[in-house]
């Protein structure tokens, strides 16, 4: 485990300053500063409806920023280009979606995006290793993605994201549909993946034990 609050000796990956989010008249959070260093697992703590998901979406720039700035490795989004930004600051939604076809076809599809041309590609053995770590065998790749259970869909979405090697992974309730054993396996896999490069994760969870267990640091959302 990493030492608790901020690992200042580690390289700074993401810095957000003075972010604000308002929904209609309702101010969710404001003057929010956030720094993420390599290896950190930042748990977002806030009651439902406090805007945890919206913060993750804001970091991935899926919604326009209402105030403030974000930098990844010292560079603003415009200098990366938005598709590139999102493949480096990758958001995993609470409600994973798959398109028609097999699990493998779904895992391959992000490699076909313009953004990723000439940047490596699909590596089957890497995925099957991860599947093994999650207690699944390679036949999972041949499943019809539209018939997956909620938990299986969540695994698909996780693997689809991990294989792209983002710098910052934004996880919105990543294990909400998983059983206890698989949840443990996912956490172990994430820790191993985070350790393999200068990477960090921000996550939300309704399970306070998971936050205790998995977060290296927590952030409370407040107005």
Partner 1 sequence: MTPTSSGALTISDGRLALSALLILVNVALSAALRLGLARSLLVASVRMVVQLLLVGFVLEWLFRQDNAPLIVLLGAAMAMIAGVSAVQRTRRRFAGIYLNSLLSVMAAAALVTGLAVTGLIQPQPWYNPQYLIPLLGMVLGNTLNGISLGLDRFMEGLRSGRDRVETALALGATRWEACQEVVRDAIRVAMIPTINSMMVMGLVSLPGMMTGQILQGAAPAAAVRYQIVILFMIASATALGVFGVVGLAYRRLTSADHQLRLDRLTSVSKQG
Q: Which residues bind partner 1 (CB under 8 A)?
A: 60-64, 77, 82-84, 86-87, 90-93, 95-97, 99, 110, 113-116, 157, 160-161, 164
Residue with tokens 């280009």: 81
Q: Is 200 left (phi over 0), alpha (psi -120 to 50) or beta?
A: beta
- Cβ neighbours of 90 (radius 10 Å): 22
Comparing CB distances to partner 1, the nearer of 90 and 215 is: 90
User: 23 — phi, psi (to 5°)?
Assistant: -115, 105
Query: Minimal distance in Å, beta carbon 107 to partner 1?
Result: 11
Q: Give the DSSP H/E element, type plus range, for residue 87.
A: helix 82-88
Comparing CB distances to partner 1, the nearer of 94 and 218 is: 94
Cα distances (angstroms) measured from residue 3 to each of 6, 8, 52, 53, 223: 8, 10, 24, 26, 28
Find the helix packing angle between 180-195 and 124-133, rounded to 10°: 130
| Residue 216 · residue 1 · CB < 8 Å | yes
Comparing CB distances to partner 1, the nearer of 19 and 157 is: 157
Query: Minimal distance in Å, beta carbon 184 to partner 1?
Result: 26
Query: Minimal distance in Å, beta carbon 171 to partner 1?
Result: 12
Query: Minimal distance in Å, beta carbon 86 to partner 1?
Result: 5
Residue with tokens 């993401």: 14
Query: Minimal distance in Å, beta carbon 100 to partner 1?
Result: 11
Comparing CB distances to partner 1, the nearer of 170 and 221 is: 170
Comparing CB distances to partner 1, the nearer of 99 and 147 is: 99
């Amino acid at each position: 485990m990493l030492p608790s609050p901020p690992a200042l000796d580690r390289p700074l990956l993401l810095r957000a300053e003075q972010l604000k989010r308002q929904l209609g008249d309702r101010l969710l959070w404001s003057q929010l500063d956030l720094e993420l260093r390599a290896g950190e697992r930042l748990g977002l703590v806030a009651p439902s409806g406090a805007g945890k998901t919206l913060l993750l979406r804001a970091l991935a720039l899926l919604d326009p920023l209402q105030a403030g700035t974000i930098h990844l490795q010292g560079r603003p989004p415009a200098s990366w280009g938005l598709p590139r930004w999102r493949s480096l600051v990758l958001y995993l939604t609470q409600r994973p979606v798959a398109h028609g076809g097999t699990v493998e076809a779904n895992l391959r599809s992000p490699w076909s995006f313009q953004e990723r041309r000439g940047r490596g590609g699909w590596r089957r053995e890497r995925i099957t290793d991860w599947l093994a770590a999650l207690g699944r065998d390679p036949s999972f790749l041949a499943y019809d993605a539209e018939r997956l259970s909620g938990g299986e869909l969540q695994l698909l979405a996780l693997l689809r994201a991990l294989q792209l090697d983002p710098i910052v992974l934004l996880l919105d309730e990543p294990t909400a549909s998983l059983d206890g054993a698989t949840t443990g396996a996912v956490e172990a896999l994430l820790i191993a993946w985070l350790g393999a490069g200068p990477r960090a994760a921000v996550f939300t969870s309704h399970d306070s034990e998971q936050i205790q267990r998995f977060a290296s640091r927590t952030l409370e959302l407040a107005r």
